[in-house]
Amino acid sequence: MKNTFLFILCFFSLSVIAQDHAIVKKINGIVTSSGRNLSIGDRIKIGEIVDASGKGSFVDLEIPGEGKMRLVGGVMRVKKVEKTESIYELIKGKIFTYLKPDKKTEKRLRIYTSEGSFAVRGTKFVVVKEKDYRSFLCVCEGSVEAKNNFGVNGIVHENQEVEFSGVDRDIRSKINSRDMKKLRAMFKKMGL
């Protein structure tokens, strides 16, 4: 009996430490995951599709590695969620993301769109997918590696934004201070 109790306690402790899910922290509007309405405290696991595409809808998630993510007016798929690596696919909408930098353990966050991917190791950034064949990245802090489907990649640094499509072979970089102010305001609303 004592051994059974210890086994259960150890199993529960390991499952908490090895966070394999994102946790819903805030919801506005109607947000669903794989057909069910989400509530604060719900866990989003690998393979689930989160839909916050209704007008004015968004969901705030706590992600492994002391990260936060806000999906606004969009749909995303959770592809991998582990303590050291998380992968999400943005189908449409906007994802505002914060991942705390940590020199001791290298945490990785990758967001895919149909045009390419964005890899992070501690930063604040936004990925936007509102038009077919176009993705947009804006980095508010840190840096993000952007890579399109043709293998062209580059590092986008703080206060830079980049847009690329699934048919262009290049990645165009630009800076627009008006857009940057709006995006920083959203992070402030998230408490970051």
Mean pLDDT for the chain?
Answer: 81
**Contact status, residue 192 vs residue 68, Cβ threshold 8 Å:** yes
SS3 121: coil
Backbone φ and ψ of 70, nearest 5°: -125, 120
- pLDDT, position 13: 37
Q: In this predicted model, what pLDDT tens digit does every residue of 135-183 receive, in sequence order?
A: 888 888 888 888 888 777 888 888 888 887 766 655 556 666 677 788 7
Extents of the domains making up the chain: 19-189
**Averaged pLDDT, 61-71:** 87
pLDDT at residue 64 above 80? no
Separation between Cα atoms, residue 125 and residue 123, nearest integer Å = 6
**pTM, full prediction:** 0.82
- pLDDT, position 19: 62
Pairing of strands 134-141, 108-113: unpaired
* Element spanning 165, H or E: strand 160-165
Query: ∠ CA 77-20-41 to the nearest 5 degrees?
Result: 80
Query: ∠ CA 126-93-172 to the nearest 5 degrees?
Result: 50
pLDDT at residue 63 above 80? yes
Largest CA distance in the chain: 65
Residues whose CB is less than 8 angstroms from the CB of residue 165 and which lie 6 or more positions away in sequence, other chains included: 115, 133, 134, 135, 148
CATH assignment of 19-189, among 3.40.50.300, 2.60.120.1440, 1.10.3720.10, 3.40.50.150: 2.60.120.1440
